[in-house]
Amino acid sequence: MPNKEKFFVAVTGCPTGIAHTFMAEAALKKAAQQAGVGIRVETNGAAGIENTLTDEEIARADAVIIASDKAVEMARFHGKPLVRASVGHGVKKANELVARAISGNEAVYHHEGSIGSAETNTVKSEEESLGRLLYKALMNGVSNMLPFVVAGGVLIAVSFFWGIYSFDPTNAQYNPFAASIFNLGKLSFSMMVPVFTAFIAYSISNRPGFVAGFVGGLIAANVGAGFLGGIIAGFAAGYFMKWVLHVTRSFPRSLEGFKSIFLLPLVGVLVIGLVMTHMGDSIAAINKGMMAWVAGLEHANPLILGIVVGCMSAFDLGGPVNKAAYVTGTMLLAEQGNALFMAGVMTASMVPPLVIAFATVMFKKYFEKEEQAAGLVNFILSATFIAEGAIPFAAKDPLRVIPILMLSSSIGATLTYWFHVAVPAPHGGLIILPLVTHGMLWIASIVCGGLVGGVIYGFYRKRKYLAQAASNAAPLNNSLA
């Protein structure tokens, strides 16, 4: 009988909330079952928070496990032993996280600020490095911005079915319905930088940061400072308002309403607004120069660009390096309408699961039954732009498998740039194929990268299998001799 004396609660979350979130959930549940303890896991995915932890469950828990790369409501865990890790560790090292929780040696979490104050969600994270805190804030902005990007990009692309100028009343292609769809997409796109900036600031200093960050993001978008301006405004708003909260922490309770409703928004919007108004033009010039340089690589040297994008996308399969490539593609698509760069980024993330799928089919006997089943699922994951399907295979032998995936993604991305494929939407995979320029060449690029990697990985698994078989046969031969 499993030992239910110990009980834990956990939260998982990744920036996109599509794969890592639920893979970490499954891994933690499996690890807890193997350890004979109880666990409840709250997921912070693309559809929002699911399986929300209750106050009773948190009160009963012996420890809390946070495996998340995005902001988590932390005030409720005050006074509980806390195990904190990235969502990647939740996927790959779930047994270790559960073991740490069972040990009872983890430090007790003390939340900064009292529940109900304006500082309720300010996370006190001495154990986390500055780099990790900055990354989590940035990814919180990305995860909340992503739905606006997807909706806006797809709607604009769909409007082009009626003609590339169907939104323009002065053009012969004009169609009122297409123009309505285009304008909706454009409106959604226009909210990307403000939402991105607001949620960076929110991750750092909660609601006061959100207000100042949103206004800073609006100014960045209006002056053309784009995502670079959004990043600067988001972190400036977040840390400035965190400082203001610290300075005003001694205000009496009777002034709490005045502080949170009037003083904090006023000070935040005024200071961050003035800073971004005066710095906006300079940031915009830098932002445009950077985008022009990156976009220029598409035509000047598609091989180098393909290698860079391919290696970044396959290096950590949905992690921070992969997200850096994706955010760059999204930025170029949103601000310049550059669908060529986005095509390479999407290809590079669709190839790794296809490598696994092809290898498990073509070299079936060298994979276990469970791996064969997972390999077939990777056909679907590849088609829907979910690179994380390759993670379980890469995690077993990262030093050999990840370079194979990086090579394969580089081949696919380079061919995509070579063929001048244009993908006008930032998500969806093959679902958006009707919108893609040179769609058949795009599929050929993805399949080529997947086949090359699948053959290399398959031969590697064959060699490993035969070596293992020879090793197992050696003791038997010695005993017979």
Q: Are residues 269 and 143 in the same domain?
A: yes
Q: Are residues 186 and 266 in the same domain?
A: yes
Residue in 14, 139, 155, 192 annotated catalytic: 14
Q: Are residues 443 and 312 in the same domain?
A: yes
What pLDDT, on a 0 to 100 scale, did the predictor assign at position 9? Answer: 94
The answer as to whether 2 is a domain residue is no
Number of domains in the chain: 3
Instruction: Give the separation between CA 110 and CA 89, rounded to whole angstroms.
Output: 23
Instruction: Give the separation between CA 221 and CA 356, rounded to whole angstroms.
Output: 41
- Spatial strand order of the sheet with 63-68 comes to 48-50, 38-45, 7-13, 63-68, 82-85
**388 CB-contact burial (10 Å; exposed 0-12 / middle 13-18 / buried 19+):** buried
Note down the domain range covering 255.
130-281
CB 35 within 8 A of CB 99: yes
Q: Are residues 236 and 373 in the same domain?
A: no
Helix-then-strand count for the chain, H and E: 17, 5
- Note the pLDDT tens digit of each residue in 322-358: 777 887 787 777 766 778 888 998 999 999 999 999 9
pLDDT tens for the 481 residues of the chain, in order? 344 578 999 999 876 656 778 888 888 999 998 888 999 999 987 667 888 899 899 999 999 999 988 778 888 998 889 999 888 888 888 899 999 999 888 888 887 654 433 333 333 444 556 777 787 788 788 778 877 877 887 787 788 778 777 888 888 888 999 899 989 988 887 888 899 899 999 988 888 899 999 999 999 888 888 778 888 999 999 999 999 988 888 888 777 778 888 889 999 999 999 999 998 888 888 877 776 776 666 666 778 888 988 998 888 777 667 777 887 787 777 766 778 888 998 999 999 999 999 999 999 888 888 788 888 888 988 888 878 778 778 877 888 899 999 999 999 999 999 999 988 877 778 888 888 889 999 999 999 999 999 999 999 988 888 887 777 665 555 554 5
What pLDDT, on a 0 to 100 scale, did the predictor assign at position 283? Answer: 85
What pLDDT, on a 0 to 100 scale, did the predictor assign at position 237? Answer: 94
Residue ending a domain, choose from 249, 281, 313? 281
Amino acid letter, 159:
S
Structure tokens at 2: 């499993």
CB 216 within 8 A of CB 274: no
Residue ending a domain, choose from 233, 248, 281? 281
- Note the pLDDT tens digit of each residue in 192-231: 889 989 999 998 888 889 999 999 999 988 888 877 888 8
Q: Are residues 96 and 141 in the same domain?
A: no
Q: Are residues 340 and 466 in the same domain?
A: yes
Helices in 160-263 by DSSP H: which ranges? 176-190, 192-223, 226-247, 256-257
Q: Are residues 269 and 315 in the same domain?
A: no
What pLDDT, on a 0 to 100 scale, did the predictor assign at position 266? Answer: 93
The answer as to whether 387 is a domain residue is yes
CB 437 within 8 A of CB 339: yes
The answer as to whether 108 is a domain residue is no
Q: Are residues 326 and 424 in the same domain?
A: yes
14 is catalytic: yes
Q: Are residues 24 and 71 in the same domain?
A: yes
Instruction: Give the separation between CA 70 and CA 54, rounded to whole angstroms.
Output: 20
Q: Are residues 419 and 463 in the same domain?
A: yes
Q: Are residues 259 and 305 in the same domain?
A: no
Between the alpha carbon of residue 276 and those of residues 192, 211, 263, 281, the distances in Å are 17, 14, 20, 9
Which of these, 226, 451, 415, lies nearest to 305 by C-alpha position? 415
- Note the pLDDT tens digit of each residue in 160-181: 778 777 888 888 888 999 899 9
- Note the pLDDT tens digit of each residue in 284-301: 888 777 767 766 666 667
The answer as to whether 118 is a domain residue is no
The answer as to whether 191 is a domain residue is yes
pTM above threshold 0.85: no
The answer as to whether 204 is a domain residue is yes
What pLDDT, on a 0 to 100 scale, did the predictor assign at position 114? Answer: 41
The answer as to whether 1 is a domain residue is no
The answer as to whether 112 is a domain residue is no
Q: Are residues 362 and 466 in the same domain?
A: yes
Residues sharing a CB contact under 8 Å with residue 316, sequence separation 6 or more, in sequence order: 88, 322
Residue ending a domain, choose from 227, 249, 281? 281
What pLDDT, on a 0 to 100 scale, did the predictor assign at position 443? Answer: 95
CB 196 within 8 A of CB 237: no
The residues facing 296 across adjacent strands are none
What pLDDT, on a 0 to 100 scale, did the predictor assign at position 122? Answer: 39
Number of Cα atoms under 13 Å in the Cβ half of residue 401:
19
CB 437 within 8 A of CB 421: yes
Instruction: Give the separation between CA 328 and CA 101, rounded to whole angstroms.
Output: 38
Per the prediction, the chain carries an average pLDDT of 83
